[in-house]
Structure formats: C-alpha cells, structure tokens
C-alpha cells in the first residue's frame, strides 16, 4: 500500500479571520508551515500547547495568528496598565522580532502592542503601557522591573507565551519566569515553545501547562537536512588564518560566525575587517543601538559577515545566510543545533563549518552524540592538525559548571532592578522556511 502524504490546509481552510488572511496575503505568505498547520487548530480552541520546533520553522506565526484571531472576536481591549497577551523572549533581538510580527499580522485588526527590554531608557516603554496593551512582548528582567515599579498589571492577562524556553533556561531565567507566572491568572491559556526538551524544560512545562496539545515538527537535537556540515581540525594559533581563508568571497555570500566570548567576537571581527572581509560583532557589551545597526546591516546585505556570541544571536532571522562558521565550538551540544540552523532557511541550502582545536575535541564528540551522526572531516586545507583530530583531551570547564558559560550562573539573583537587560541582575550579558515563503 503506497503512502500518501497529508494535504496541508491553506490559511483560509484553518478558519482564520478574513482580516488576518488579508494581512498574510499582503506579506506574501501562501500555505502554512507544518508547525502552523498543526498548532493553529489547537490554539483556536483555547487549548494550552507545548511546541517543539527549531528556529526558522514559522513558530512565531503559529502562536500569533490564532491569538490574534481570538482577540479580534472579543469585544474588550486592555485596560490601563493591563496586558491581554504576554509573550516572554530570552533576548532583546527576539523580542523586537516578535513585536514586528504582531504589527505585520495584526495590521488590519487595530491591536495595541508594546515591546520592552533592557539596555534602553524605560520612558517610552512606560508611556506605551499606561493605557494598557493587547500584546506585550518582553524580556523577563525588564518586565519584573516595571512590574515592581507599578507600571504593569498582569492580573488580567489571558494568554502567556514562552518562546525559546530552553534558551531562557540556559540564561538562568527559571526563577524570574516562575515569579512572573505567579502574577498571572490561573485560568490563562499557556503556550511553551522550545527547540529541545531537557529535563528542566519538561519539569517547567508540566507545572505551567494544563492538558496541553503537543506539536513536534522537528525531533529535538536533530539538524536540518539541507545543511552541509563539516569540521576542520587546526591548532589554536592557526584558527584565525584558517577563518580568513574560508570567508573570502565569492564563495561566502553572507556568513554568521560564532564565538564563545565577547572578547573573541571583537577580535575576530577586527581581524577579518583588517584582512579585507569587513565584519561587525554583536554581543552583550554592545549598546542596543550598536546591536540594532549591526543586525540591520547584516539583514540588508551591507554587512556580509556578522560575528556573534550565542545569546546575541537570538533574533537573527535572515533567510540568505550562506555559511555558519563555528570559530569556537559551543560547550553545550544543543547550542550547535541552534547555531547551524541559522543557515539553510526558506528552502535554501547552507553550509556549517566548524573549526576544532585540540582542547575542544571532546565537545565535538558530545555534539556528534547529540545529533546522532559524525560531522564530516575536511583535511584538505593548509592548517590541518592531526593532533586535534586524534585528541581526546578533556575540555576546560566553563561557566562554573552551568549548562553553558553564559547560562545558569546568576539564577536566583536579582531580576533586573533597573539594569534592564535580558538576564538576571549580577550576571554579565554574553552574546542571539519550505519552498513557499512563510511567516516567521
């Protein structure tokens, strides 16, 4: 008996509001992605949902479209200082991206919206919140800060969305999230999205969700088939020279390079620029304006190479990234999946190249175990190190034993208190589609 692939319904067949369908048409979107087709029917009924999906699968529209549909059907709007829909995101960039999607999809519905995050003066954010908003997208630190000042009332919030929950866990946001949830009505609808499902996320979900629907479009810790992966072994002293050789055009049209630390990100960007490959760095020590300008330049194509730490990379949603380079291996295996998923989007193919020095060989082994396959080795380059390839050295311990060096330390400390960053206070920030066009 032959297997017949399921027919994906159109957005109209999902029963969405005509004004939403008009906005989707204006955006040039056609058919829903798998996560949208699976999640939207559940969410239209008001059911809680656990969504497992990588970035780039269209999960933002998967939760925004049904929420907008239901909000349009209600006769009331938010009252002063109150919020109807609260969306929590781990970083400023991702929060801004979600807010932009609210604007795009809700353009014909007259919904009010606001995005709040740290690193900028709170004056305009407070002013926007005075009358109340339908959609508030926020990072946990600044949200708790403004709640503490009396500018936000969450007692009437009807929907809570936790986006990229696994990354919020890595950043030490479990305690702030629980503090925020304690301020919300028990009768709310709750949605939790995560690319991976470690034990801590499973525990968090079980405490927040009531009889949730579960939608999984990509098994956790697997990689996109269209990404060509490779690893090049080299000594630490030769990594920069190898990278300079690899990023030269025209082979590399647009590249995203990952480093472990902010200092290394700056060093790599400066070295590439000096070598004739202009690059910008994006990380937590950059001002919000600097980060936004660098990201805007990368999206427009004015900046061909962007160097980022893991946290700063969240919110980088660019379809035509031809290459992802891991200048430093991530010391958390799941981060590798997040990183390389920044290429091969919108039906395109992409390449992910990892540079591995002897000290980090064990991290590569952990990554291969996580993705369930070996990363192909390329030895045909002038900086190959056989020592690095054969090394079984134990890698250095990073970040005091947390899930990653930017992650769990700081959990349980202050939550913002005017610092206004997407992290608990007391911790340094370290920086985050199918053939048819689809919503993010």
In a domain, 427, yes or no: no
Q: Say how far apart CA 277 and CA 248 lie, in whole Å.
A: 7
Lowest mean pLDDT among 47-61, 147-161, 200-214, 227-241: 47-61
Q: Are residues 244 and 119 in the same domain?
A: no
Using 50, 70 and 90 to split pLDDT, how confident is the model at 308?
very high
Is 2 inside any structural domain? no
CA 80 to chain centroid? 31
Domain count, the chain: 2
* Pick from 26, 171, 190, 37: nearest CA to 109: 26
* Residue where a domain stops, chosen among 192, 216, 240: 216
pLDDT in tens, 344-389: 766 667 899 999 999 898 889 888 888 888 999 999 999 999 888 8
Q: What is the DSSP code (8-state) at residue 60? A: H
Sheet holding 83-88, edge to edge: 113-116, 133-138, 83-88, 159-162, 189-194, 49-52, 213-216
The alpha carbon torsion through 164, 170, 174, 176 (nearest 10 deg) reads -90
- The tokens for 398 are 């990073």
What confidence score (pLDDT) does residue 310 get?
83
Do 106 and 234 lie in a common domain? no
How confident is residue 225, by pLDDT bands cut at 50, 70 and 90? low
| 165, burial (CB in 10 Å: exposed 0-12, middle 13-18, buried 19+) | buried
User: 156 and 233, same structural domain?
Assistant: no
Please check whether residues 178 and 234 belong to one and the same domain.
Answer: no
Domain limits for position 87: 12-216
The per-residue pLDDT for 175 is 92
pLDDT of residue 419: 31
Q: Are residues 67 and 102 in the same domain?
A: yes
So what's the pLDDT on residue 237?
Answer: 95
- Residues 38 and 62 grouped into a single domain: yes
- 439: pLDDT confidence band, cut at 50, 70 and 90? low
pTM score of the predicted model: 0.63
* Cα 151 → chain centroid: 27
Same domain, residue pair 236 and 379:
yes
Nearest to 376 by CA among 344, 351, 341: 351
Mean pLDDT value across the chain? 83
Looking at 191-326, list the stretches that DSSP marks H as alpha helix, in order from N- to C-terminal side: 199-208, 239-246, 262-274, 288-300, 310-313
H-helix or E-strand spanning residue 93: helix 92-105
Among 195, 216, 237, residue at a domain's last position: 216
Looking at the domain assignment, is residue 406 inside a domain?
A: no
Q: Give the pLDDT confidence score for residue 112 in this predicted structure.
A: 94
Q: Give yes or no: residues 211 and 62 share one domain.
A: yes
pLDDT category of residue 335 using cuts at 50, 70 and 90: confident
Residues 258-281: pLDDT tens digits?
999 999 999 999 999 999 999 999
Say if 432 falls within a structural domain: no
Nearest-angstrom CA–CA distance, 282 and 368: 27
pLDDT in tens, 4-47: 445 567 899 999 999 999 999 988 887 898 999 999 999 999 99
**Ranked by mean pLDDT, which of 84-98, 150-164, 355-369 comes out on top?**
150-164
The predicted pLDDT at position 416 comes to: 33
Q: What percent of the chain has pLDDT over 70?
A: 82
The answer to whether residue 77 scores a pLDDT higher than 80 is: no
């Amino acid at each position: 008996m032959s297997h017949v692939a399921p027919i994906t319904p159109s957005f109209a067949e999902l029963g969405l509001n005509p004004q939403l369908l008009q906005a989707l048409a204006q955006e040039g979107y056609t058919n829903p992605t798998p996560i949208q087709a699976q999640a939207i029917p559940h969410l239209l009924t008001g059911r809680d949902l656990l969504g497992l999906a990588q970035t780039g699968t269209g999960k933002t529209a998967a939760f925004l479209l049904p929420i907008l549909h239901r909000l349009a059907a209600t006769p009331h709007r938010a009252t002063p200082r109150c919020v109807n829909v609260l969306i929590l995101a781990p970083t400023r960039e991702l929060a801004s991206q979600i807010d932009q999607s609210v604007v795009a999809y809700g353009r014909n519905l007259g919904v009010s919206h606001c995005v709040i995050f740290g690193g900028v003066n709170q004056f305009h954010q407070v002013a926007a919140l005075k009358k109340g908003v339908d959609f508030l997208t926020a990072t946990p630190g600044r949200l708790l800060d403004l709640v503490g000042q009396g500018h936000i009332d969450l007692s009437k919030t009807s929907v809570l969305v936790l986006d990229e929950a696994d990354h919020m866990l890595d950043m030490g946001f479990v305690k702030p999230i629980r503090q925020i949830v304690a301020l919300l009505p028990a009768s709310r609808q709750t949605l939790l999205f995560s690319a991976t499902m470690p034990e801590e996320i499973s525990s968090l979900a079980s405490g927040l969700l009531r009889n949730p629907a579960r939608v999984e479009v990509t098994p956790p810790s697997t990689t996109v088939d269209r990404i060509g992966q490779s690893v090049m072994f080299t000594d630490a002293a030769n990594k920069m020279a190898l990278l300079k050789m690899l990023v030269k055009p025209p082979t590399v049209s647009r590249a995203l390079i990952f480093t472990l630390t902010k200092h290394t990100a700056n060093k790599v960007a400066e070295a590439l620029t000096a070598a004739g490959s202009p690059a910008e760095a994006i990380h937590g020590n950059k001002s919000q304006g600097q980060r936004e300008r660098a990201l805007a330049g990368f999206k427009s194509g004015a900046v061909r190479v962007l160097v980022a730490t893991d946290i700063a990379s969240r919110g980088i949603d660019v379809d035509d990234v031809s290459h992802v380079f891991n200048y430093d291996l991530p010391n958390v295996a799941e981060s590798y999946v997040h990183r390389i998923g920044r290429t091969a989007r919108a039906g395109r193919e992409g390449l992910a190249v990892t540079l591995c020095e002897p000290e980090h060989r064990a991290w590569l082994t952990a990554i291969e175990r996580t993705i369930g396959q070996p990363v192909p080795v390329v030895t045909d380059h002038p900086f190959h190190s056989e020592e690095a390839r054969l090394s079984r050295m134990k890698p250095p311990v990073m970040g005091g034993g947390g899930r990653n060096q930017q992650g769990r330390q700081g959990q349980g400390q202050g939550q913002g208190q005017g610092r206004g960053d997407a992290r608990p206070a007391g911790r340094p920030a370290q920086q985050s589609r199918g053939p048819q066009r689809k919503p993010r």
